[in-house]
């Protein structure tokens, strides 16, 4: 063990300043410093350093005594950071150098051995990967909670009728349960995308060192196992320059945020007095400072808007990465802010949406009434003509169109058209047709796999209940 007189931190110098004669310009520090945001990686940085120090000792690269001192110092730093007493300092640029400088203050010379066979390039690649991996796991947990909320509502209203829309025009009756289960499917794919991204990113870049690997007899498999990675990354240049793990996570986040935005948009529409399909409690609405009658779905609107941030973060990082030569460039320091921002926004949006879904109460009578409006069972009439009168579908479509026109003229719904009116259009029509013209019959008849019939919806609900159990 040497004494610590050679340590730059002990002399108040920057940790990389050996060949420099002057301190950086203030502006240089202002543009270079990242501790303000990358302090968020502190737990990952300590975990990486612990694994690295243990491996160095096991390989005989540092002594057991140095390793013990380093582990002890890292533990003390953890206590300081968790307790809010750690001195984060701009002059040490980033989380890595802040930890190393503090370690030097706490344990002296041994601290200078921790960085053997390591560079900040593989260190930051490791820390950020660990953070992004945890963020994916966290997002999956939040998505599951939202799916459970949707599932509970879907089960409670598996046969509540509502209009199904295309072009936001009444199309065919569906059930509210079926509609909510559509989102369970979407969010299921979102969770799958995070899981796929996680599986691909789960390789350990530590040991790539600056860019070319290390001449020390390091064991990258050991640090991989210690940090929960499947294996070490296979190319040292790629290891320090790859950020597509973050891009992929941000792409998954963007698609998920888009789904949240669509659900939010539907909630905004459904709570309008004109639709009146659902009610949100006071917990998820706000009033207006001037219009006392208002009850605004702000949480849904903000969820819809957060999509902008998430997509912007993906765009931001893609543009940062585009055109960077191998291997590490300082541009990549700008990877963290957008990624943190996107996952913070997504976390909030997923949680708020789970809360709103659990909170919302459908007005089932109003939805059922709307389900019958807009001649929503016209397709059922056409299908009946095909089935009972053996008409070609095109002909049946034409006959149905005339029935709709007549009903419109008389100001009636299809089910209220007298048989004489229907017979005037198509003499073969009989009393039996009325059985298919109600919204309930229409929905119940759609028993094809994945269809809106309540028995099919309940099947899907029980499949998902098992999956989410």
Which stretches of the chain bind ligand ARG, using CB under 6 A?
34, 38, 94, 120-121, 124, 328, 330, 332-333
Catalytic member of 2, 6, 281, 288 = 288
Please say whether the beta carbons of 191 and 142 come within 8 A. Answer: no
At closest approach, how far in Å is the CB of 96 from ligand ARG?
6
Closest approach, Cβ 46 to ligand ARG, in A, equals 16
Of 18, 102, 116, 16, the C-alpha closest to 66 is: 116
* Cβ closest to ligand ARG, residue 15 vs residue 180: 15
CA 77 to chain centroid, in Å, comes to 32
Total Cβ atoms within 10 A of residue 282: 9
Q: Which is nearer to ligand ARG, 34 or 223 (CB)?
A: 34
For ligand ARG, the closer CB: 67 or 100: 100
How many CB atoms are closer than 10 A to CB 171? 15
Q: How far is the CB of 195 from ligand ARG (least distance, A)?
A: 27
| Closest distance to ligand ARG from the beta carbon of 32 (Å) | 8
CB contact at 8 A, 435 and 428: no
- Nearest to residue 340, comparing CAs of 33, 31, 47, 39? 39
CB–CB of 50/228 below 8 Å?
no
Closer CB to ligand ARG, 97 or 352, in the complex: 97
Q: Which of 167, 289, 420, 448 is catalytic?
A: 167
Catalytic residue status for 236: no
CA-based nearest residue to 400, from 411, 419, 385, 415: 385
d(CA 447, CA 317): 46
Nearest approach, Cβ of 331 to ligand ARG (angstroms)?
9
Q: How far is the CB of 31 from ligand ARG (least distance, A)?
A: 12
Residue 286 DSSP code: B
Q: Closer to ligand ARG at the Cβ: 98 or 254? A: 98
Closer residue to ligand ARG in complex, CB, 125/417: 125
Per-residue burial over 315-330, b = 16 or more CB atoms within 10 Å of its CB, e = otherwise: ebbeebbeeeeebbee
SS (H, E, C) 177-205: HHHHHHHHHHHHHHHHHHHHHHHHHCEEC
Nearer to ligand ARG, 16 or 393 (CB): 16
Confirm whether 178 is a catalytic residue: no
Query: Which DSSP letter does residue 32 get?
Result: H
Q: Burial letters for 373-384: b for 16+ Cβ neighbours within 10 Å, e otherwise?
A: ebbbbbbbbbbb
Q: How far is the CB of 205 from ligand ARG (least distance, A)?
A: 12
Residues with a known catalytic role: 167, 288
């Amino acid at each position: 063990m040497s004494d610590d007189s050679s340590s730059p931190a002990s002399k108040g110098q920057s940790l990389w300043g050996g060949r420099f004669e002057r301190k950086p310009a203030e502006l240089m520090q202002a543009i270079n410093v990242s501790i303000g945001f990358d302090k968020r990686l502190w737990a990952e940085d300590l975990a990486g350093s612990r694994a690295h120090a243990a491996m160095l000792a096991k390989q005989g690269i540092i002594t057991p005594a140095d390793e013990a001192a380093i582990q002890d110092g890292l533990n003390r730093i953890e206590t300081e950071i968790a307790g809010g007493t750690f001195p984060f300092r701009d002059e040490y640029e980033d989380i890595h150098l802040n930890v190393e400088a503090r370690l030097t203050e706490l344990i002296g010379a041994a601290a200078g051995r921790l960085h053997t066979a390591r560079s900040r390039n593989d260190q930051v690649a490791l820390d950020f990967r660990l953070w992004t991996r945890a963020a994916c796991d966290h997002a999956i947990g939040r998505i599951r909670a939202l799916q459970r909320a949707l599932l509970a509502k879907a089960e409670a209203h598996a046969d509540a009728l509502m209009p199904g829309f295309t072009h936001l025009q009444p199309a065919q009756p569906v059930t509210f349960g079926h509609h909510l289960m559509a989102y369970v499917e979407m969010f299921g794919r979102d969770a799958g995308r995070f899981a796929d991204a996680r599986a691909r990113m789960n390789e350990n870049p530590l040991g790539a060192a600056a860019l070319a690997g290390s001449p020390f007899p390091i064991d990258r498999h050991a640090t991989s196992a210690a940090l929960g990675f499947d294996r070490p990354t296979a190319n040292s240049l790629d290891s320090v320059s790859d950020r597509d793990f973050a891009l992929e996570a941000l792409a998954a986040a963007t698609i998920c945020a888009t789904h949240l935005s669509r659900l939010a948009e539907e909630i905004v529409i459904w709570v309008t007095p004109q639709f009146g399909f659902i009610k949100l409690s006071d917990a998820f609405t706000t009033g207006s400072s001037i219009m006392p009658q208002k009850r605004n779905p702000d949480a849904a609107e903000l969820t819809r808007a957060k999509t902008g941030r998430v997509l912007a973060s993906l765009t931001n990082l893609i543009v940062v990465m585009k055109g960077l030569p191998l291997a590490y460039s300082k541009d990549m320091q700008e990877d963290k802010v957008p990624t943190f921002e996107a996952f913070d926004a997504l976390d909030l949006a997923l949680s708020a949406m789970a809360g709103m879904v659990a909170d919302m109460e459908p007005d089932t009578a109003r939805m059922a009434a709307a389900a019958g409006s807009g001649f929503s069972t016209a397709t059922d009439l056409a299908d009946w003509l095909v089935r009972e009168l053996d008409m070609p579908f095109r002909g049946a479509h034409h006959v149905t169109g005339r029935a709709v026109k007549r009903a419109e003229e008389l100001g009636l719904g299809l089910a209220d058209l007298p048989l004489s009116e229907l017979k005037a259009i198509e003499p073969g029509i009989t009393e039996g047709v009325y059985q298919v013209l109600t919204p309930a019959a229409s929905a119940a008849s759609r028993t094809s796999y994945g269809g809106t019939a309540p028995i099919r919806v309940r099947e899907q609900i029980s499949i998902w209940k098992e999956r989410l159990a």
